Chains A and B, each alone.
Chain A
Amino acid sequence: DAGITQSPRHKVTETGTPVTLRCHQTENHRYMYWYRQDPGHGLRLIHYSYGVKDTDKGEVSDGYSVSRSKTEDFLLTLESATSSQTSVYFCAISDYRGRDTDTQYFGPGTRLTVL
């Protein structure tokens, strides 16, 4: 199994508070991703990173920011949490260098509840 951990695994917070989720990898993979999973929507990409300090937006980036200061860590921040951000958040990593290495590996997820 790819070495990916997410913390915290569960969090309950209140509307308007800032929240930071952490993804940590031990695989030295270049690409890292944050997704959210909601019923009926599959997984939707929030933000991704293609290197240290190199990040870009996904399809549902509003209300989220990210940072990557080291290869192994990718942080997702909800600046002011809202109830619509209640979801399960997954981090993924990839060492994409062409179709033969074209696989994303997923972490165990963080269940976030915003009251």
Chain B
Amino acid sequence: GDSVTQMEGPVTLSEEAFLTINCTYTATGYPSLFWYVQYPGEGLQLLLKATKADDKGSNKGFEATYRKETTSFHLEKGSVQVSDSAVYFCALRGNDYKLSFGAGTTVTVRA
């Protein structure tokens, strides 16, 4: 079945550091890929998405490129802020309308 594997955390960074969170997937067909973010005490919010190979999703300075050849969708941000502290989830939607989520990566940014 469909599955998502993302790097384990927690990840602790200093402000203005570069952030990468690795995500790889297993799916049949051509899934859509997503990154969701969860701030403390809140529900999940869509951060960005890509629906076909080589698409780049971007939002709030975050980027991720859909790489079919490596079945990856790594999240990157060039200069993180304290406000980026959150839990980040990689997810995919396969051949139906259900999402499969990774385990989540907790990111803490220190001033």
Where the two chains meet, the residues of A that have a C-beta atom closer than 8 Å to any C-beta of B are 31, 33, 40-45, 48, 50, 58, 90, 92, 94, 96, 99-100, 102-109
Tell me whether A107 and B43 are in contact (CB under 8 A). Answer: yes
Tell me whether A102 and B32 are in contact (CB under 8 A). Answer: yes
Report which of A41, A48, A90 forms a contact with B43, defined as CB distance below 8 A: A90
| Binding stretch for chain A, among B11-19, B67-75, B98-106 | B98-106
Report which of A48, A100, A106, A108 forms a contact with B98, defined as CB distance below 8 A: A48
Q: Min CB distance, B53 to chain A, in Å?
A: 12
Tell me whether B97 and A106 are in contact (CB under 8 A). Answer: no
New A-B contacts (16) at CB < 8 Å, excluding given A43-B101, A45-B99, A104-B99: A31-B97, A43-B89, A45-B98, A48-B97, A92-B44, A99-B51, A99-B52, A100-B51, A102-B49, A102-B51, A102-B93, A103-B34, A105-B46, A106-B43, A107-B43, A108-B43
List of A residues within 8 angstroms of B83 by Cβ? none
Tell me whether B44 and A43 are in contact (CB under 8 A). Answer: yes
Interface SS majority for chain B: strand
Tell me whether A108 and B42 are in contact (CB under 8 A). Answer: yes
Q: Min CB distance, A47 to chain B, in Å?
A: 11
List of B residues within 8 angstroms of A48 by Cβ? 97-98
A33 CA to B101 CA in the complex, in Å?
14
| Contact of A42 with B103 at beta-carbon distance under 8 Å, contacts A50-B97, A96-B97, A102-B93 already known | yes
| Contact of A40 with B103 at beta-carbon distance under 8 Å, contacts A102-B32, A109-B43 already known | yes
How many residues on the B side are at the interface (Cβ–Cβ under 8 A)?
21
Report which of A41, A44, A90, A100 forms a contact with B44, defined as CB distance below 8 A: A90
B45 within 8 A of A: yes
List of A residues within 8 angstroms of B51 by Cβ? 99-100, 102
Chain A residue at minimal CB-CB distance from B101: A42
List of B residues within 8 angstroms of A50 by Cβ? 97
A58 CA to B93 CA in the complex, in Å?
14
Tell me whether A42 and B104 are in contact (CB under 8 A). Answer: yes
Contact with A along B87-101 (1 / 0, CB 8 A): 001000100011101
